[in-house]
Structure 1
Amino acid sequence: MNKKKIVLSAVCLILLVINVLIITIGYMLRKTSINSASIKVQNITTEASKESIQTLDKKNKPEKQDTNRFEGFKLTSENKGIPILCYHDVNPAQSNELLLSPEKFKEQMKYLKDNGYLPLTLDELYGFLRQNKPVPEKSVVITFDDGYRSNYTYAYPILKEFGFKATIFVISDFIDNDLYMTKTQLKELSDYGLDIESHTDKHEDLSTLNKEMQITTMIKSKESLEYLLEKKINYIAYPFGRMNEDTKKAAEVAGYKLGFNLQQGLADRDDNIYNIDRIYISNDHSIDEFIKRVTTTKK
């Protein structure tokens, strides 16, 4: 009887030890599995973070100036004035002075091409104005205000024909409206190499708004265009060319590098960077008047 009790006790003890071993081994295996999974998650998270940071860095990295564009041109870093031309619409309708006929626009672009002018991007203009980088002696900047759809239809093919760069200042809240370019068209222009920049969110007369309201419309436009085009928006043209002292401060707070008016002068380093002069071009101007504005406008 005592032998049976001893054997039974021994068996129970062995079973208990086996259970403890099974539980211990299971716990250790589970811990190892969890640690491995945790390491994998950490690695994935780390890689995602690195990728996110690299993407952000790439997006925020300043544009490099393509010096090959200037090959064959005589360069200068002298503080000479640069004509910044301001167009609105290129349209055969010609119902008012803002609507320049495609024929006139092509004639003007041909004059620039035949006479050795090179249209700058706004990054190139910024490099000249703020960093004393050299540009061709016969530099010019071509800009369009508002973002009319007919600029895609009529101006864009002419610019491509002459191989010209240009900037379109877009009213962000008007995108996809009847008279204005679509998101798809703006992306195409941007991918081709035209600058798409800000003309505020709703084309407000900034001179009538307080600083906070100016900042709001500038930021809304900037963020909307950056989301659409996946690129930095660094430049703004003020609607109607109107502004006040608050406008310059608002543009700086909103994160813009240059702001443009319509004060009929050449742009040079003496300009306040948030009050850069442009020259208005109208359908009423003959080719002789156009040439005069390009060649004889004063600083």
Structure 2
Amino acid sequence: MKIIEKHKDTLLSGTEVWLVQPDNIDDILRVCITPNRTPPEGHRAGLIIGTDAELSAGTLISTLKSCAVGLDLPYVYGVSIGYPLDANPPFVIKRNRDLTTKWFAFEPVTAAMAGLPGVAPTGGADGFLEFLAEELKPSLAEAFPIDLAEATLAGQSFGGLFTLYALLTRPEVFRRYLAVSPSLWWDDRSLLEAATRIVSEHPAPTASVYLCAGELENKARFGRQFNGPMPEHIKSVVSKALGSVDMPGDMFMMEQILSGWSGDQFSVEAHVYPEESHESIMGAALSRGLRRLHGKL
């Protein structure tokens, strides 16, 4: 990983921003790094890595800092990963690439729904996870007093899908996993199928998993959101992929599958948040999920 630039953020207090070029991703990523409070001399802090900095970096940072005041969270560094603010194509296309497994049928959809030409590539989840594990985490521990054994991965929507993909494919990379409104509908619910096989074939990892979804993340609401004008070939894919979305139902199915991993070092729980939608849930999820995962709730 090449660090192209480091600077202090002028809006997010105490935040250092890195622009980095990963070894295995042909792009520039923007990494926002903020401690909730500075650990005492000789001590190292935990690490919380969140996806989609464009959507939730501010929420993550304010949650960590507020919870530190009341000792609701231990010493942690919050790290949000996104893309340069002037990125072209924009982050909505790039996250489509980095947080998913390959699904050719969906590649025209995100661009069309965003009113952009072309397609949004998919299938970069393995490369993005390798970047986190082999490049970013060691660089963070070298630059800051961070204990990599106390690392958490958090993500919402495609980020939640990626969080569970990381748990199932490389569970040793993180100690805690916060999957918010995971898009388990992706690729005909292929991750649910993969989870069933992986849990049956592999021993339980040392990990704590917290899943949550909003009460309003249901078929009726998604049907209204994605019923706008779009080309027929796009509409057919959207209808097939999202026409029966039931995020709470899929989430509980994943919880049931993961519960097949038994042992003192593994735990999983799932919750539905009343009156929260796919767009509103992140603040509550970070507060409740991180406190629960760190034994403070």
TM-score (norm 1): 0.32
Question: Hey, which of these two has a bigger chunk of helix by percent?
Answer: 1
Question: Hey, which of these two has a bigger chunk of strand by percent?
Answer: 2
